[in-house]
Amino acid sequence: MSKTPSFREQIERSGVSRRDFLRFCSYAAALIGLDAAGIPKVVQAFEKKPRPPAIWLHFQECTCCSESFIRSSHPIVADIILNQISLDYTQTLQAPAGEAAEKSKTDTMKNYYGKYVLLVEGAVPMKDDGVYCTIGGRSAIDILKEAAEGAALIIAWGSCASNGCIQAANPNPTKATPVHEILDKPVINVPGCPPIADVMSAVITHFLVFGRLPELDGQGRPKEFYSRRVHDTCYRRPYYDAGLFVESFDDEKARKGYCLYKMGCRGPVTYNACAVTKWNAGTSYPIQSGHGCLGCSENNFWDNGPFYRHLASFPGFGIETTADTIGTVVGVGALAGVAAHAITTNIRKRKLINKHIEESANNEKNKGEGE
């Protein structure tokens, strides 16, 4: 086994200048939240540390995570997947096929046991022994468990691997299951459909620079990118606080760029970095283009429909019925019941009330007699 070249050696070979390399390092440092003093750390990590081998598994997914990744905004960031880490196995990008491809995976797992990075894209079907997703004649569950055993780091790319996404939407016919529910090792969840390219590369950068997992929240997501709501970082937030809302997609308020809250925007319940890093080299993000957030990085977002309404439909009552409809019916029912009760009380209790009145009159009379 020859010495694994460092990332710098790798990119110098492909003709990238020192200046570009440093520019990339400061960019990467900024992404993972380091200040200027932290840049040398990043430079050092990329110059000296050997590139860790990586296995990228694809299960129930649409490859949009990979597509997003190769569109990272910085030109060299795009090279991360191909250069910075040595991608030994990924069905969609690798040159070898068939048994040769499988062999490169088994070789990596054997030679770099306890050292390689495992990247998983897609959910794993658990129903009927996992027959709904097989590669090379083996089920996704088997492949995942085998690859996870010797992995130094496991990252679940995208909503499929982090929370099941559309495969796990009701009624979840294949029992699609997110990676962290199958493995008992720590898993970094990087949800999103797809996740933001720069976030994906920053998570890997963090591991390369510090050699450990980034700080994770209660749902296993890196706090750097998933601790704030899209709503709190949205440039339309002032319209929300001012109570200026778009009422319909073609009204004057939509043209003025008011808040999309009433159009069902999921910004207030979605934790992601979209409003900060934006997409496609910082060009835009859904809300900026006039469409509400769908909450694609949140659990069960497919089942929280309809997308264009603030409240979800009430389970079991059809798609147009919200909690408010049910509540209004019950509330009006209670008022009507109470009114009917008041009327019948006066009919049925006439005797009782008359008795009370008579008793009271007697008291008055007795009082008069006593004097």
Partner 1 sequence: MAVKNAVYRRVYVWEFPVRLYHWVNAICVALLIVTGYLIGKPIAIEYGNEAYQQYWFGTVRFIHFVSAFIFFFNFLVRIYWGFVGNTYARWQNFIPWKKSQWHEIKEILKVDILQRDVGERISIGHNSLAGLVYFLTFLVFLFQAFTGFALYSSMSSSFFPQLFSWVVPFMGGDFAVRQWHHMFMWFFIVFAIIHVYLVFYHDYVEGRGTTSSMVGGWKFEREEDL
Does 290 help bind partner 1 (rule: CB under 8 A)? no
Residue 247 tokens read as 């009422």
Binding segment for partner 1 (CB under 8 A), chosen from 76-84, 127-135, 140-148, 265-273, is 265-273
Distance of alpha carbon 298 from alpha carbon 304, whole angstroms: 10
Distance of alpha carbon 360 from alpha carbon 209, whole angstroms: 89
Does 268 help bind partner 1 (rule: CB under 8 A)? yes
Does 300 help bind partner 1 (rule: CB under 8 A)? yes
Total residues at interface with partner 1 (CB under 8 A)? 55
Element (H, E) at 135: strand 134-135
SS3 (DSSP) at 172: coil
Which of 242, 284, 319, 320 is in the footprint of partner 1 by CB under 8 A? 242
Peptide bond into 52 cis (omega under 30): no
CB of 247 to partner 1, least distance (A): 5
Q: Which residues contact 265 (CB under 8 A, 6 or more apart)?
A: 231, 259, 287, 292, 293
Residues in contact with partner 1, shown as a per-residue x/- string from 314 to 353 under the rule CB under 8 A: ---------xx-xx--xx--xx--x--xx-xx--xx-xxx
Cβ distance to partner 1 smaller for residue 146 or 251: 251
Does 304 help bind partner 1 (rule: CB under 8 A)? yes
Distance of alpha carbon 105 from alpha carbon 99, whole angstroms: 10
* Distance between first and last Cα of the chain: 119
Binding segment for partner 1 (CB under 8 A), chosen from 9-17, 119-127, 178-186, 236-244, is 236-244
CB of 38 to partner 1, least distance (A): 24
Binding segment for partner 1 (CB under 8 A), chosen from 13-21, 112-120, 149-157, 262-270, is 262-270
Cβ distance to partner 1 smaller for residue 138 or 256: 256
The secondary structure of residue 128, as a DSSP letter, is G
Does 239 help bind partner 1 (rule: CB under 8 A)? yes
Q: How many other CB atoms are found less than 10 A from the CB of residue 360?
A: 10
Distance of alpha carbon 326 from alpha carbon 315, whole angstroms: 11
Crossing angle of helices 98-111 and 140-149, rounded to 10°: 30
Contact residues toward partner 1 (CB under 8 A) are 218-219, 228-229, 232, 238-245, 247, 261-262, 266, 268-271, 295, 298-301, 304, 310-312, 323-324, 326-327, 330-331, 334-335, 338, 341-342, 344-345, 348-349, 351-353, 355-356, 358-359, 362-363, 366
